[in-house]
Amino acid sequence: VAATSAPAPAAPKAPAAPSGSFEERVRTKSSPLVRKIAAEQGVEIGALTGSGIAGRVTRKDLDAYLTSRPAGSAAPAAAPVSVSHAPSDSHGPAATPWAGDIVEPMSKIRKLTSEHMSLARRVAAHVTTLWEVDLTRVARVRAAVRKDFEAQSGQKLTYLPFILQAVCQQLKRHPMINTAVSGENLIYRKQINLGIAVALEPTGLIVPVLKHADELSLTGLTRGVNDLAGRARSKKLSPTDVQDATFTISNPGTFGSLTGTPIIPVGTTAILCLGAIEKRPKVITGADGEDTIAIRTCAYFSLSFDHKVIDGADADRFMGDIKKALESVTEAVV
């Protein structure tokens, strides 16, 4: 009997492309390297199931598909499509330069920021709640311990570590805020990793991540923030330094901004914005019930949260507890 060879196993099929144009755009949001390899191998990225944030197709996803596909089964390359006049998904219709205008290509970090912000705005139902926080007690504690703290630690003591400490405490009490969305599942993060937005010179922004921030003392928080900010500005951050944030803090108050409505980074469900710290006249009710006007050190805090998974009441309880913690701080936190 003549031997017959077993039929070759059928090539694994990539999952069918999603019918919704939004989902397809999200899936094709992959890195330039992944898109280049996919094009060379004749793979339609929009037809693959991505394991990255919001279904993003990663290099690992593409390599796994190419490894499992038998040799010679590459799909023919698609005919090139002219996109010179097509509107950009991230930027909208292309603007036309006028006489005297300067046209400058976007930097790599600006292009990445543009793509990330556009995606982040689409995948989350943004809502912002605004609170005024009295930081007078923080100011007094800081003034009382500042000299000894800086002598012992060698670090400048600002208001930020006090705020980070209060945030970590309340993220533990309000785990709903320290979450991520995975399809139809909600992931409650055990780790508290704080993304700290850092402005770069002359322009640009990067968000290094302070890992396990809840395990750090006030001194540890100060050292960690100063180290990340310094390495960010000197361009010495590693890829792992900007990954795995579970909650983000933006501090435009350092530039004098009173408040803001920040965009929630993809992979998280909330971001806290810190406004400028300044002295304001406030009405204070004394123990005798009498009202007086006093000068207090205050700031506006705003929380942008994803209303798909966080209710307004949960967001406000979280903010209310941060306010209480900071308004009742003592030297014991140092």
Q: How far is CA 132 from CA 157, 218, 248, in A?
A: 22, 23, 19
Phi, psi of 279 (to 5 degrees): -85, 135
For the stretch 82-121, what's the b/e string if a residue is b when 16 or more beta carbons lie within 10 angstroms of its beta carbon? eeeeeeeeeeeeeeeeeeeeeeeeeeeeeeebebbebbbe
Q: How far apart are CA 244 and CA 242, in angstroms?
A: 7
Given the residues 89, 134, 307, 321, the one annotated as active site: 307
Q: Which amino acid is at 322?
A: I
Find, among 98, 97, 163, 174, the residue nearest to 133 by Cα: 163
DSSP per-residue letters across 267-313: T-SEEEEE---EEEEEEEE-TTS-EEEEEEEEEEEEEEEETTTS-HH
Annotation says 311 is catalytic = yes
Annotation says 307 is catalytic = yes
Q: Are 53 and 244 in contact (CB under 8 A)?
A: no
Q: How far apart are CA 76 and CA 270, in angstroms?
A: 43
Q: How far apart are CA 105 and CA 209, in angstroms?
A: 28
Q: Are 272 and 245 in contact (CB under 8 A)?
A: no
Alpha-helical segments (H) within 134-179: 136-153, 160-173
- CB under 8 Å to 301, separation ≥6 — which residues? 130, 131, 132, 133, 272, 273, 274, 275, 319, 322, 323
Given the residues 63, 148, 244, 311, the one annotated as active site: 311
Cis-peptide, bond into residue 202, ω within 30° of zero: yes
Q: Which residues participate in catalysis according to the annotation? A: 307, 311
